[in-house]
Structure 1
Amino acid sequence: MEEIKEITAEELRVKLENGEKLNLIDVREDEEVAHGMIPGAKHIKMGEIPNRLDEFSKDEEYIFICRSGNRSGTVCRYLQDMGYKVCNMVGGMLAWDGEVTK
């Protein structure tokens, strides 16, 4: 099985501070994102991903985020198996010390 590409919270923060245009997808539940999301992230709950594949393009890379990195890793494996370009933020929001929006 092909390895899932990973990015650390710190690497992601640097990319955002440098103004890189990234596709961030937060797969946590509603009550979790209520505590704050990374600015610019789109909220699509993990369970909704299969029904919302039309919102993803196989030409672009998506960075997936959850609380600890486990659920986002599962989503990454699922989408990568279907030919999407994915990257998992390891450590999830527990590792994120940057800005959040509510």
Structure 2
Amino acid sequence: MDTTASSQPGDCLVVDVRSPGEFETGHVDGAINLPLDRLSADCTQALPDKSQPLVLCCLSGARSGMAAQWLRQQGYQQVLNGGSVGSVSLQLQRPIRRG
């Protein structure tokens, strides 16, 4: 994961685009759940600051890649596809939370 979008990657918001059920099985500490199928409807409320550094994750990086591309098209300035939940957890040194 390239963390150059933020000078302090630990300050970024982790956005998990998996389903709520997947999110409950384990997510990066501090992550918000914004399922890919709800992204267009909920992003304005969930992500009001388009300049905030965002790191997106999912199971493999495919859904988060689609979400990252869409968010960039909407004007979000610092969006990274972090790939899998495990990868983001390791890169940001944040634990996985369950439930």
TM-score, scaled to structure 1: 0.73
Structure 1 letter corresponding to 2:23: V
Q: Does residue 87 of the first structure (1) align with residue 80 of the second (2)?
A: yes
Native 8 Å contact 1:68 1:94 kept in 2: no
Matches within 5 A, 1:15-94: 20-54=10-44, 55-56=46-47, 57-85=49-77, 86-90=79-83, 92-93=84-85
Q: Distance in 2 between matches of 1:29 and 1:53?
A: 15
Q: Distance in 1 between matches of 2:51 and 2:16?
A: 20
Q: Distance in 1 between matches of 2:35 and 2:55?
A: 14
RMSD: 2.1
Q: Distance in 2 between matches of 1:52 and 1:7?
A: 26
Native 8 Å contact 2:12 2:52 kept in 1: no
Q: Which runs of 4+ in 1 moved over 4 A?
A: none
- Of 2, 23, 31, the residue aligned with 1:7 is 2
Q: In terms of Rg, which structure is larger?
A: 1
Aligned partner of 1:12 in structure 2 is none
TM-score, scaled to structure 2: 0.74
Aligned partner of 1:3 in structure 2 is none
- Unaligned regions of 5+ residues in structure 2, if any? none
Identity %: 23
Number of matched pairs:
87
